[in-house]
């Protein structure tokens, strides 16, 4: 049975969610759309075995037919991402529906950084709400912050995205859980969003499951103080 995904924008500005479906999975009903302030949109026909990622784009300006230029989370300069990933740093909601043992798997990831607070609210028995609501952009260390051309802070990079080292990116000699450990940069994110992934092997406190067949609400929110 198809799942329902509801999106709500609690911010005071438009948000443009982007969607990227994993290879060899059925497509989500859309790959990008506009969500006006204080409004919600539902998609009722999400395939029951869909897998992919969803992220918020903001400070966006429409241009031409289907064009969309965003200072944060941009996907190849268009409203419909159509297979293009979001420009990091972005807060990402990740889903694998109908995964192992009759379960859906879902999480919020700051592995590539943060731009907008997110919340995943499942509708299913025994399913946990996952929230990353801190004002990480405001608190972002200067060596991780991302600014728009007008100087406004619009994102906060992870250590991996900022410095691209094997140790911070959990690759090469650090490509296993026992070798790749939390860094000061990942701990900065983890302290502010304890339920979200802060680095690649942060599975123990950051992966959540629901019985297959649940519906999901994704909320783009105002940052907490």
Interatomic CA distance for residues 7 and 12, integer angstroms: 15
124-165 pLDDT, tens per residue? 888 999 999 999 999 999 999 999 999 999 999 999 999 999
Predicted confidence (pLDDT) per residue in 12-43, tens digit: 999 999 999 999 999 999 999 999 999 999 99
Contacts from 68-73 at CB under 8 Å and sequence distance 24+?
68/16, 68/32, 70/16, 71/148, 71/149, 71/152, 71/154, 72/115, 72/116, 72/146, 72/148, 72/154, 72/155, 73/16, 73/18, 73/115, 73/116
Predicted pLDDT of residue 223: 63
What CA–CA distance (Å, rounded) separates 200 from 170? 7
Question: What does the pLDDT look like over 88-98, one tens digit per residue?
Answer: 999 999 999 99
User: With pLDDT > 70 as the criterion, what percentage of the chain qualifies?
Assistant: 99
CB 192 within 8 A of CB 133: no
Residue 225 pLDDT grade (very low, low, confident, very high; cuts 50, 70, 90): very low
The count of residues in the chain is 225
Q: Check pLDDT > 70 for residue 79.
A: yes
Per DSSP, helices labelled H in the chain are 136-139, 159-163, 166-169, 184-192
Mean pLDDT of 70-86: 97
What gap in Å lies between CA 174 and CA 167, rounded to an integer? 6
pLDDT of residue 124: 83
Q: Is the pTM of this model over 0.75?
A: yes
Evaluate whether the domain defined by 3-220 bears CATH number 2.60.110.10: yes
User: What residue ranges do the domains of the chain occupy?
Assistant: 3-220
E strand or H helix that includes residue 71: strand 67-72
CA–CA distance, 97 with 105 (Å, rounded to integer)? 6
Provide the terminal-to-terminal Cα distance of the chain, rounded to the nearest Å: 40
- Joined together, the tokens standing for residue 31 give 């790959």
């Amino acid at each position: 049975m198809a799942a329902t995904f509801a999106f709500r924008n609690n911010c005071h500005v438009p948000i443009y969610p982007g969607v990227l479906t994993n290879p060899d999975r059925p497509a989500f009903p859309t790959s990008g759309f506009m969500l006006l302030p204080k409004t919600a949109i539902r998609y009722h026909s999400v395939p029951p075995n869909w897998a992919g990622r969803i992220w918020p784009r903001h400070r966006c300006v429409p241009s031409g037919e289907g064009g969309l230029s965003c200072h944060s989370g941009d996907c190849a300069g268009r409203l419909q991402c159509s297979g293009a990933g979001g420009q990091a740093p972005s807060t990402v909601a990740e889903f694998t529906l109908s995964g192992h043992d009759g379960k859906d798997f879902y999480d919020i990831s700051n592995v590539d950084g943060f731009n907008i607070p997110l919340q995943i609210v499942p509708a299913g028995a025994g399913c946990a709400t996952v929230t990353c609501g801190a004002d990480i952009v405001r608190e972002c260390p200067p060596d991780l912050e991302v600014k728009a051309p007008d100087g406004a802070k619009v994102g906060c990079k992870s250590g991996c995205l900022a410095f691209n080292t094997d140790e911070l990116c959990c690759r090469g000699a650090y490509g296993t859980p026992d070798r790749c450990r939390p860094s000061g940069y990942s701990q900065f994110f983890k302290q502010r969003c304890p339920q979200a992934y802060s680095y690649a092997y942060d599975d123990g406190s950051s992966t959540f499951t629901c019985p297959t067949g649940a519906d999901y609400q994704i909320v783009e929110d105002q940052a907490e103080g």
